[in-house]
A = this chain, B = another copy of it.
Amino acid sequence: MQGRLSPAKTTAADVVVTATLTLETRREGFSEITADLTRFLAEIEAGDGALLLYLRHTSASLVIQENADPDVRTDLTTALRRLAPADAGWVHDTEGADDMPAHVKTMLTGVSLHVPVTAGKLELGTWQGVYLAEHRAQPHRREVILQFIGGRKDAGRS
A108 to chain B, nearest CB (A): 6
- Assembled-state Cα–Cα distance A143/B143 (Å): 30
Which residues from 91 to 126 on chain A have a C-beta closer than 8 Å to any C-beta of chain B?
A: 91-92, 94, 100, 103-104, 106-116, 118, 123-126
Establish whether residues B3 and A8, one from each chain, have CB atoms under 8 Å apart when the complex forms: no
- Which chain B residue has the least Cβ–Cβ distance from A61? B107
* Chain B residues closer than 8 Å to A78, beta-carbon distance: 90-91
Q: Determine whether the beta carbon of B8 is less than 8 Å from that of A19.
A: yes
A82 to chain B, nearest CB (A): 8
Q: For residue A126, which residues in chain B have a CB less than 8 angstroms away from its CB?
A: 56
CB pair B116–A114 under 8 Å, yes or no, is no
* Copies of the protein in its oligomer: 3
Contact with B along A128-158 (1 / 0, CB 8 A): 1000100000000001110101110000000
How many Å from the CB of A6 to the closest CB on chain B? Answer: 4
Contact between chains at B1 and A149 (CB < 8 Å):
no
Cβ-closest chain B residue relative to A114: B112
Q: Which chain B residues border A74 with CB–CB below 8 Å?
A: 91-92
Sample (22) of A-B pairs whose CB atoms are under 8 Å apart: A2-B36, A3-B33, A3-B36, A3-B144, A4-B22, A5-B36, A5-B43, A6-B21, A10-B44, A12-B15, A13-B14, A16-B151, A54-B123, A56-B123, A58-B66, A58-B125, A65-B103, A75-B103, A76-B103, A79-B104, A123-B145, A149-B149
User: 10 more A-B contacts (CB under 8 A) besides A6-B22, A18-B118?
Assistant: A6-B20, A11-B15, A18-B48, A64-B111, A66-B103, A74-B91, A75-B91, A76-B107, A82-B88, A110-B113
